[in-house]
């Protein structure tokens, strides 16, 4: 197996996003890509954790207090769910930066801003995030489980709209543009992510190979076995409120064949029905 260092893998993820969308990187975009590669915190992943699959992280002996490092998906037994944040021009980076720094503790990975913007630019209909077609496309690539729009609400407050692409559900909240507001929003987003098990929708890429928008920084290891499932359905209360998700029937098996980038992997069928973009892939038990 060819061994890639973390810098090459992260850069390949940014370049893969451009290549799959059919556009070339400008000089400015290339510089931004290098900045992402050289800043692990921009991908919400401490460098020492990149070589350790998520299922091994919780089994290690606890280090002494003077050896403790920033937590990285140590409380999850599933990959981190991708979160795409779209920031209004009138809002500074205080809240998003706080979300990035602590998202992994809540089972989430905040996608790099440039990756999200590139996806929005090259996805038809995404001039309106509220449109179902846009949200459905973003769920496939860049694999956003949650799409979060943050607008200025005045008085050091921000208005937050959240679209859950798995449950097809919208939430709205108003929080302070500060650390306290970030903590409150993280709890809310983390609870929403937990309402449905981790899954991804595959898509056909270069050479008719099948890809998923999850990879190394999500905690997804090469060789991981995945279940191929029918789409599934939402669980509703008597008033029609969507509160959970029932996964579809398992009809096949697939596996992560290789990392293509930081948040991109190629998958291949193993048995049963081969996965298509109409299916969902989830972790095998």
pLDDT, tens digit (0-9, with 9 covering 90-100), for 97-108: 889 989 999 999
Q: In terms of domains, do 162 and 241 share one?
A: no
Looking at the structure, tell me whether residues 232 and 277 fall in a common domain: yes
CATH number of the CATH domain containing 214: 2.40.10
Q: What is residue 30's predicted lDDT score, i.e. its pLDDT?
A: 43
Residue after which a domain boundary falls, among 172, 193, 214 = 193
Same domain, residue pair 176 and 219: no
Helix (H) or strand (E) holding 211: strand 210-212
SS (H, E, C) 250-279: EEEEEEEEEEEECCEEEEEEEEECCCCCCC
Question: What is the pLDDT confidence band of residue 64, given thresholds at 50, 70 and 90?
Answer: very low
Query: How many structural domains are present in the chain?
Result: 2
When pLDDT is cut at 50, 70 and 90, the band that residue 187 belongs to is very high
Expressed as residue numbers, the domain containing 14 is 6-193
Distances (CA, A) of 209 to 103, 168, 213, 260, 266: 31, 28, 13, 12, 7
Which among 81, 63, 116, 28 has a CA at the least distance from the CA of 200? 81
The answer to whether residue 1 is domain-embedded is: no
List phi, psi (to 5°) of 89: -60, -25
Residue 70: the pLDDT is 32
pLDDT tens per residue across span 230-281: 988 878 888 877 777 787 899 999 999 999 989 999 999 999 999 999 899 9
Give the integer Cα–Cα distance in Å for 127 and 162.
16
pLDDT at 45: 38
Final residue of a structural domain among 193, 221, 237 = 193
49 and 162, same domain (yes or no): yes
Express each pLDDT in 12-53 by its tens digit.
444 444 444 444 444 444 444 444 434 433 443 333 343 444
In this structure, the answer to whether residues 108 and 17 fall within a common structural domain is yes
């Amino acid at each position: 197996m060819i061994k890639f260092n973390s810098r090459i893998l992260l850069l390949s993820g940014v370049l893969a996003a451009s290549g799959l969308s059919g556009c070339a990187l400008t000089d400015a975009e290339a510089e931004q890509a290098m900045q992402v590669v050289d800043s692990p915190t921009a991908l919400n992943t401490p460098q020492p954790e990149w070589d350790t699959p998520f299922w091994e992280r919780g089994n290690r002996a606890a280090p002494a207090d003077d050896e403790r490092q920033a937590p990285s998906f140590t409380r999850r037994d599933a990959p981190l769910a991708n979160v795409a944040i779209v920031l209004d021009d009138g809002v500074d980076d205080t809240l998003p930066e706080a979300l990035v720094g602590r998202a992994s503790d809540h089972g989430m990975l905040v996608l790099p801003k440039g990756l999200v913007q590139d996806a929005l630019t090259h996805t038809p209909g995404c001039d309106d995030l509220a449109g179902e077609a846009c949200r459905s496309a973003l769920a496939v690539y860049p694999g956003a489980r949650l799409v979060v729009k943050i607008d200025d609400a005045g008085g050091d407050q921000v208005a937050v709209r959240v679209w859950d692409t798995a449950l097809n559900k919208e939430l709205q909240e108003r929080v302070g543009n500060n650390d306290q507001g970030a903590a409150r929003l993280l709890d809310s987003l983390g609870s929403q992510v937990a309402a449905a098990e981790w899954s991804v929708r595959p898509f056909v890429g270069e050479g008719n190979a099948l890809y998923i928008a999850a990879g190394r920084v999500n905690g997804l290891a090469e060789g991981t076995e995945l279940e191929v499932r029918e789409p599934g359905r939402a669980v509703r209360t008597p008033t029609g409120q969507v509160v959970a998700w029932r996964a579809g029937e398992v009809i096949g098996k697939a596996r992560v064949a290789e990392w293509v980038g930081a948040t991109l992997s190629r998958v291949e069928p193993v048995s049963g029905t081969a996965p298509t973009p109409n299916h969902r892939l989830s972790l095998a038990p």
